[in-house]
């Protein structure tokens, strides 16, 4: 399991947004879940539609698409936020689950730009909190939100500078008390085919992002995320594509070459550096015959670079010209 601070949660939400993965925020009351969603909506330039499920019945939820206030979620894009998803009757929750699983409500499709977020409070301190079972959790990217005392102090400093200076002198002791008083049961993403697809989306989109591992922790259980990234060091791959001389353990070479061969590259230098690295690795470990698959994949993903550097490739691999149809 992993917990995210206020700012980390904002970053994760904004990165998950274009992937179309529903998000579930879990944390203690007052940790700032609503404030996070409000700020994300503002930064994305989308209206926030905050649904208080306590005011809804299963029947009334189906009428939401017909209410003027909710039109943007269906017509132009919005942030659709369902608060306290597990503290009202299961019938109310089930009535809104189509939003998370099918992106529909009352039979009407959400706009593609609409971001869907739910929030829950878990643990014994929350009266009438319903259990979120595996079938429900498998539909979300799960973000456990915690309070970071220094982020909170920064927030207070901007709004209440005199009071914040008093807090600052005792920030560590206060932070420890807040943490102890607001412990909550963390939720872990499940392991289902849907979660594995979520993970694939995250890796495909953010393979070169330093935040990758943290993002994976939101969509699939951390042990599986660690397995997926065990042989992959994307900082190493970035160094390879930059033409730097790197050392790679033999057992990691196949997966690194496979990933590089399927990557859409940014420029001619990355294309040439990928080929030079592959040639070096295949020669070093006596796998020259395997270069065909690497070059074929690289060429399919980067045809423009291939056209510009076909002479170089033919010169480097003269025996493979007929095999590669170059």
The closest of 186, 187, 181 to 149, measured between CA atoms, is 181
Q: Pull the structure tokens for residue 314.
A: 């033919």
pLDDT of residue 165: 80
Q: List the pLDDT tens digit at each of the 326 positions of the chain.
A: 578 988 999 999 999 999 999 999 998 777 788 989 999 999 999 999 998 877 777 788 878 888 888 899 999 999 999 888 877 777 877 788 888 889 998 889 999 999 999 988 765 554 544 566 777 788 899 999 987 777 777 877 888 888 878 877 777 777 777 666 666 778 888 888 899 999 999 988 998 788 999 999 999 988 888 888 876 777 788 889 999 988 888 888 888 888 888 888 889 999 999 999 988 888 887 766 678 888 888 888 898 998 898 888 888 887 665 545 54
Q: Say how many CA atoms lie within 13 Å of 324 toward its Cβ.
A: 23
By the 10 Å C-beta count (0-12 exposed, 13-18 middle, 19+ buried), 41 is classed as buried
pLDDT of residue 326: 45
Cα dist from 181 to 123, 174, 178, 207, whole Å: 12, 11, 5, 37
In whole angstroms, what is the distance from residue 215 CA to residue 65 CA? 31
In whole angstroms, what is the distance from residue 8 CA to residue 143 CA? 10
CB 228 within 8 Å of CB 189 = no
pLDDT of residue 78: 95
pLDDT of residue 129: 47
pLDDT of residue 174: 74
């Amino acid at each position: 399991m992993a917990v995210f601070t206020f700012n980390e949660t904002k970053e994760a939400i904004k990165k998950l947004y274009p992937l179309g993965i529903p998000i579930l925020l879990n944390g203690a009351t007052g940790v700032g879940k609503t404030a996070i969603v409000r700020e994300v909506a503002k930064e994305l330039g989308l209206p926030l539609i905050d649904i208080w499920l306590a005011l809804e019945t299963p029947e009334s939820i189906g009428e939401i698409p017909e209410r003027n206030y909710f039109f943007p979620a269906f017509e132009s894009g919005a942030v659709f936020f369902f608060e306290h998803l597990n503290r009202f009757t299961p019938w109310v929750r089930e009535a809104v689950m189509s939003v998370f699983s099918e992106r529909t409500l009352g039979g009407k499709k959400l706009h593609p730009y609409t971001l869907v977020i739910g929030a829950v409070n878990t643990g014994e301190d929350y009266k009438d909190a319903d259990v979120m079972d595996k079938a429900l959790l498998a539909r979300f990217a799960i973000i456990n939100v915690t309070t970071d005392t220094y982020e909170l102090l920064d927030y207070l400093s901007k709004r209440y500078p005199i009071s914040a200076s008093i807090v600052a002198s005792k920030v560590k002791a206060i932070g420890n008390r807040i943490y102890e008083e607001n412990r909550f049961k963390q939720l872990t993403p499940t392991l289902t085919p849907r979660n594995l697809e979520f993970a694939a989306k995250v890796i495909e989109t953010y393979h070169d992002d330093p935040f990758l591992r943290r993002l994976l922790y939101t969509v699939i259980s951390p042990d599986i995320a660690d397995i997926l990234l065990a042989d992959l060091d994307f900082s190493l791959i970035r160094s390879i594509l930059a033409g730097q001389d790197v050392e790679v353990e033999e057992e990691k070479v196949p997966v690194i070459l496979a990933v590089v061969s399927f990557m859409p590259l940014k420029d001619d230098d990355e294309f040439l550096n990928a080929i030079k690295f592959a040639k070096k690795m295949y020669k070093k470990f006596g796998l020259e015959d395997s270069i065909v698959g690497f070059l074929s994949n690289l060429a399919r993903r980067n045809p423009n670079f291939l056209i510009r550097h076909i002479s170089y490739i033919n010169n480097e691999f003269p025996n493979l010209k007929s095999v590669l149809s170059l």
